[in-house]
Amino acid sequence: MRVFKFGGASVKDAMAVKNVTKVLDITGYSDLLIVVSAMGKTTNALEQIVDSYLSKNPDLHELLIKLKKYHLNILDGLFKTRQPPVFVKVENLFVDLETTLARNKSTRYDYIYDQVVSFGELISTTIVSEYLNDVGYKNQWLDARELIKTDSSYRDAEVNWENTQKRIIEKVNKNNLSITQGFISSDENNFTTTLGREGSDYSAGIFAYCLSADSVSIWKDVPGVLNGDPRRFKDTQLLSHVSYSEAIELAFYGASVIHPKTIQPLQRKEIPLYVKSFLNPDTEGTSVKKGQPLDPYMPCYIVKKNQILISLSSLDFSFIVEDNISEIFSLFHQYHIKVDLIQNSAISFSVCLDDKFDHFEGLLVKLKAKFKVTYNTNVSLYTIRHFTEKAIQTLEKDKEILLKQITRETYQMVAKD
């Protein structure tokens, strides 16, 4: 049994969906579960719809029509007429989406987000499954919300592994081709939850762990794991092998190729992960397994944009001690804010934060009640794993550096954009 994951770029239009069959022809598909993300930039579009809905913006209807047209264009590129039942299924999903918005009584952003944004994956997998059936790749469509069970931490749900494994083993036929969604799940009350932005990789890891799969392959528009994002760094090189522990480090620091939570369930059962190009599916790509950290061994560059650098000091110039730090981290946890870098002195404490849920303003009020606070928004956190002096000099050139830190294997720098 193998698990494949196709991201949004790999199903962004009709040609991309057709390309999935080319991948399946090369790899085979008789014992395969495919995890599919929302098509193209659909998640972004649905986030706009959530914001428009909550702000009672009159452009909500236009946004829904635009998103529907986008998917109908893909369907028209895949099917000769509008007679196949997939058109009705997609139409019904859009009706369900509008009904969800109309009937919602909650004012909780995170809850509404999960109920709405999850339609991206439901629509994409319906289209991919129906197209594959139409051209001879017979498959079973599965609703991931009936398989992956979580707590009710909307937008960043924690998996109930025992319940999830039981359901996946019962529902997935390991000898056939199955299609399901990434990113989405449900809580014990059957309300939709999501596993965190870009969480489809994690979904693939969950299915692989529960099925004791032979491997996971993530299909992307890059040749594999590179030593830097080619959109931001010049002359990037392919890493042919990355160890589990190194992949976790790279993901933690912000490498976008693999979701941070994906590796842990795979490592527990030593299930290999392959990151490959859907444009060139017969190339080797990158393998993530046990072994040496990197092959070839070289500096790896990572950048995280839209960070917040905040510095705290006591109001009476007393030391920042363990009690203060414990209280600060309790607030970070309460406001669901991720800490990416820490640096402290006797009377100050600086952290680089990732405010992915837009809770910083609430946190700031709490912090200002007890500390002197200075901060910079929209800064970038740069990381070099396995740095060299030359790599540091190149990265620092022409940047206004606010903070930097060096450990044995990792160099980090916060700089203004």
What local confidence, expressed as pLDDT, does residue 13 receive?
A: 98
What local confidence, expressed as pLDDT, does residue 109 receive?
A: 95
**Structure tokens, 387:** 């740095």
What local confidence, expressed as pLDDT, does residue 324 receive?
A: 80
101 confidence band (pLDDT: 50, 70, 90): very high
3-class SS of residue 31: coil
Q: CA–CA separation, 402 vs 417, rounded Å? A: 11
Beta bridge mates, 193: 185
- Note the pLDDT tens digit of each residue in 150-172: 999 999 999 999 999 999 999 99
What local confidence, expressed as pLDDT, does residue 259 receive?
A: 81
**Structure tokens, 172:** 């997935």
- Can you tell me the mean pLDDT for 85-99? 97
* Residue 402 contacts residue 379 (beta carbons within 8 Å): yes
Percent of the chain past pLDDT 70, that is, above it, reads: 100
319 confidence band (pLDDT: 50, 70, 90): confident
- Note the pLDDT tens digit of each residue in 238-267: 999 999 999 999 988 888 778 879 999 999
340 confidence band (pLDDT: 50, 70, 90): very high
Beta bridge mates, 404: 413
Phi, psi torsion values for 342, nearest 5 degrees: -130, 140
pLDDT of residue 317 exceeding 70, the answer is no
Q: CA–CA separation, 233 vs 202, rounded Å? A: 26
* Residue 103 contacts residue 183 (beta carbons within 8 Å): no
Total count of residues recorded for the chain? 417
Percent of the chain past pLDDT 90, that is, above it, reads: 86
- Can you tell me the mean pLDDT for 179-196? 97
What local confidence, expressed as pLDDT, does residue 188 receive?
A: 96
Domains of the chain: 2-220 (3.40.1160.10), 300-416 (3.30.2130.10)
Q: Which residue has the tokens 């069959």?
A: 21
Q: CA–CA separation, 141 vs 239, rounded Å? A: 34
- Note the pLDDT tens digit of each residue in 203-223: 999 999 999 999 999 999 889
141-151: burial string, b at 16+ Cβ within 10 Å, e else = bbebbebbbbe
**Structure tokens, 20:** 């999935």
pLDDT of residue 137 exceeding 80, the answer is yes
- Can you tell me the mean pLDDT for 270-278? 96
DSSP H or E segment with residue 108: none
What local confidence, expressed as pLDDT, does residue 113 receive?
A: 97
- Can you tell me the mean pLDDT for 129-140? 97
Omega before 296 cis (within 30°)? yes
DSSP H or E segment with residue 194: strand 192-194
Sheet containing 401-406: give its strands across: 338-344, 348-354, 300-314, 371-385, 410-416, 401-406
